[in-house]
Amino acid sequence: MFDGSSIRGFQSIHESDMKLLPVPESAYLDPYRKEKTLIIIFSVHNPVDNSAYSRDPRGVVAKAVDFMRAQGIADTAFFAPEAEFYVFDRVRFKTDINTAYHEIDSYEGAWNTGIKEDADGTPNRGYRTRVKGGYFPVSPTDQFADLRDEMVMQLGKVGLLVERSHHEVGTAGQMEINYRFTDILHAGDDVMKFKYVIRNTAWQGGKTATFMPKPLFGDNGSGMHVHQSLWKDGKPLFFGDGYGDLSDMARHYVGGLLKHAPSLLAFTNPTVNSYRRLVPGYEAPVNLVYSARNRSACIRIPITGSNPKAKRIEFRCPDPSSNPYLAFAAMLMAGLDGIINKIEPPLPVDKDLYELTGDEAAAIPQVPGSLDEVLNNLERDHEFLLKGGVFTKDLIETWIEFKRKQEVDYVRLRPHPAEFELYYDI
């Protein structure tokens, strides 16, 4: 039993008792505790009748899979998230009635070319990652190779099969580590493991990791691109003879994602900070179109050759601030709605979308510009989430209310330090 009223968005105090049931196959040894400690996932239930709790995020994914199977569409949804993150040396921040600031430092940061000493106390020897210049540098410019190696080893200990790791575009330690895909439910579990390992490995190394979508002004943000495919009876369903070698089902899945993206982002990009990332010019997927190869589109069709098993779509909008279970379930439900209703996406766009001008640029729909906007969209467009009882009205209403009061208003009502720079002497 646990106190559900102490969990944000769960129960009120007069009905706070909730029940946890273990998921035995989820257990693994915590690699960071001195004493042997088991980490295990639990499902949340009503203690009165033992029914599954409607706001249990992992339970929402399970219901989405049940709905997919009941429709006869597929029996497995494979998801592969790619969560980017930053590792810094120091961070401090404070918000109060008379104070608002944050300060980040990283010895690798482009702003530290002028410091006298490096992290090890030796004289500054140069080699700093330039702003937007961090994609695949080698040592000594990449100062985090050994730390990433340690992260890879620790991820293996908790059951994640790492396929690649590298420094990402951002200065000051942006990174990406990719691991093998799995079914949608266990993909959510793996994101939770991944974030736990990354944070604690950085911490043990004397550094701090963050999955904030946009911690640095003027450099790339951190996304969580999610590769997706549907299978049935051991056979892939997304390979076909259409554009990008997509099947009709895959195209309709894309149509569902694009149609519902303005509301879907309330779960895949659920923070105020998410919309600091989703702006043109930082490799962010701000265009609500799909394309083969084009990374400025919100949906990319990776080039996978003639192997049907590798055919998938990549939804590039999500970021790692999202709850993976709710985000994955919402994406799947949007895609299934596209399949069920045969929603046709707009024609694919293979041009550089950042270079379009005039009427051509105006014709390309853009992602919403704020959390407030996507919450408004979710209020208007959520019927596709309610099908099969996957999401419930109370979950969606609670999500919207919490986000507005605790995040949108929290930020909106506070003067920003940049406002003092602009207006103090006005």
**Burial (CB count within 10 angstroms: exposed 0-12, middle 13-18, buried 19+), residue 352:** exposed
Helix (H/G/I), strand (E/B), else coil: 323? coil
Of the candidates 55, 56, 84, 148, the residue annotated as catalytic is 84
Of the candidates 45, 166, 295, 404, the residue annotated as catalytic is 295
Residue 45 annotated in active site:
no
Task: Return the beta strands (E) in 262-356 as ranges.
Answer: 287-292, 297-301, 313-315
Instruction: Give the Cα-Cα-Cα angle 220, 407, 59 (nearest 5 degrees).
Output: 90
Residue 176 annotated in active site:
yes
**Burial (CB count within 10 angstroms: exposed 0-12, middle 13-18, buried 19+), residue 216:** buried
Of the candidates 55, 167, 225, 382, the residue annotated as catalytic is 225
What type of residue is 82? E
Question: What's the full length of the chain, in residues?
Answer: 426
CB atoms within 10 A of CB 73: 18
Residue 164 annotated in active site:
no
In sequence order, what are the beta bridge partners of 228?
79, 313
Instruction: Look at residues 416, 379, 372, 266 and name the one whose alpha carbon lies nearest to residue 327.
Output: 266
Residue 407 annotated in active site:
no
Residue 261: CB partners within 8 Å, gap ≥ 6? 288, 298, 317, 334, 367
Residue 3 annotated in active site:
yes
Of the candidates 56, 89, 176, 372, the residue annotated as catalytic is 176
Packed helices 324-340 and 57-70: angle between N→C axes, nearest 10 degrees: 20
Instruction: Look at residues 226, 372, 344 and name the one whose alpha carbon lies nearest to residue 285.
Output: 226
DSSP string covering 250-288, please? HHHHHHHHHHHHHHHHHHHS-STTHHHHSSTTSS---EE
Of the candidates 58, 167, 316, 382, the residue annotated as catalytic is 316
The H-assigned helical ranges of 269-381 are: 274-277, 324-340, 358-362, 371-380
Rg (CA), the chain: 22
CB atoms within 10 A of CB 156: 14
| Nearest-angstrom CA–CA distance, 298 and 265 | 11
β-pair type (297-301, 90-96): unpaired
Of the candidates 89, 108, 142, 168, the residue annotated as catalytic is 168
Residue 84 annotated in active site:
yes
β-pair type (287-292, 297-301): parallel
Residue 295 annotated in active site:
yes
Instruction: Give the Cα-Cα-Cα angle 216, 222, 223 (nearest 5 degrees).
Output: 150
Of the candidates 56, 82, 190, 245, the residue annotated as catalytic is 82
What tokens appear for 351 in the block?
């041009």
Of the candidates 189, 219, 314, 319, the residue annotated as catalytic is 314
| Nearest-angstrom CA–CA distance, 229 and 252 | 12
Residue 379 annotated in active site:
no
Q: Return the active site residues.
A: 3, 82, 84, 168, 176, 225, 295, 314, 316
